[in-house]
Chains A and B, each alone.
Chain A
Amino acid sequence: AQSVAQPEDQVNVAEGNPLTVKCTYSVSGNPYLFWYVQYPNRGLQFLLKYITGDNLVKGSYGFEAEFNKSQTSFHLKKPSALVSDSALYFCAVSGNTGGFKTIFGAGTRLFVKA
C-alpha cells in the first residue's frame, strides 16, 4: 500500500534562512512524488514533481526537492525563505502500480517570520 509521511506539523524559519520540509514515502514499484502548496481557502497549487531521472528537481518559486531512494525521502527545500512562502505544504505520492490514486501527506504548515 502507498503511504506518505510528513513528520513535522509545523516548521518555523526566519526570512532569508534556508528551509526544509520533510517527506518520506512508501510505495510498491517506482514512485511518482509531488509537492503542492495550499494558501488559506484556496485549492492546492503544484510546486514540483519527481518522475524519473535527475534526483534533484527544481520547481516553482525557487523551491527544489531531492529524491533519495535509499532513504525513501523527498524533502522540499528553498535556499532563502520569504514571508510569502508561509502556507500549508503537502507531499504526495502515486505509484505506477497504484492506478490513479494519489496519497497526500498530512501537511506541514510553514511559518516564515520577518
Chain B
Amino acid sequence: DAMVIQNPRYQVTQFGKPVTLSCSQTLNHNVMYWYQQKSSQAPKLLFHYYDKDFNNEADTPDNFQSRRPNTSFCFLDIRSPGLGDAAMYLCATSIRGPQETQYFGPGTRLLVL
C-alpha cells in the first residue's frame, strides 16, 4: 500500500545532541510537510517542500532544518535539541496545492533528556 513512513517511531536524544528524523513516501506526492505537535495540541507547520523548493515558516526556530534529497525522502534535522523541543513530529504529503488532502505518517515522538 502507498503510504507515508516515519522512522524511528520513538527517538530519545540528549540536550544539545543533534538528531535527525526521517520520512519517506511511496505516494509520489509533490509536497512534503513537517509539523510539530505537543501534547495533543494543534499540529504546527515547521516547513514544507514543493518538489525541491523549500518553504520555511516565519516562526520556525533556526535550530530546525530540513533536507529533501529526492521525491521520496525528507529529513528533519534538529541541530541542538532543547527540552522544549520534545514533541511528536509529523510528516505529511500532498499532491500539490492547499486544496489537496494531506496524508500523514504515524509520527516520531522525540524525547529530550
The answer to whether A and B belong to the same complex is yes
Residue in B closest to A97 when the chains form the complex, CB atoms: B98
Q: Interface-forming stretch among A14-22, A61-69, A70-78, A101-109?
A: A101-109
Asked if B106 and A100 sit within 8 Å, CB to CB, the answer is no
A 42-65 to B, binary, CB cutoff 8 A, 1 in contact else 0: 111110010100000000000000
Contacts of B99 in A (CB 8 A): 32, 49, 51, 94, 96
Residue B107 is within 8 A (CB to CB) of chain A in the complex: yes
Residue in A closest to B55 when the chains form the complex, CB atoms: A100
**Number of residues from A at the complex interface, CB < 8 A:** 27
Asked if B109 and A101 sit within 8 Å, CB to CB, the answer is no
Residue in A closest to B96 when the chains form the complex, CB atoms: A100
In the bound complex, CA of A106 to CA of B50 (Å): 26
Asked if A102 and B42 sit within 8 Å, CB to CB, the answer is no
Residue in B closest to A99 when the chains form the complex, CB atoms: B98
Contacts of A42 in B (CB 8 A): 106-107
B 51-93 to A, binary, CB cutoff 8 A, 1 in contact else 0: 0000101000000000000000000000000000000001010
B 1-17 to A, binary, CB cutoff 8 A, 1 in contact else 0: 00010100000000000
B interface residues, Cβ below 8 angstroms from A: 4, 6, 31, 33, 40-43, 45, 48, 50, 55, 57, 90, 92, 97-99, 101-107, 109
A interface residues, Cβ below 8 angstroms from B: 32, 34, 36, 38, 41-46, 49, 51, 88, 90, 94-96, 98-102, 104-107, 109
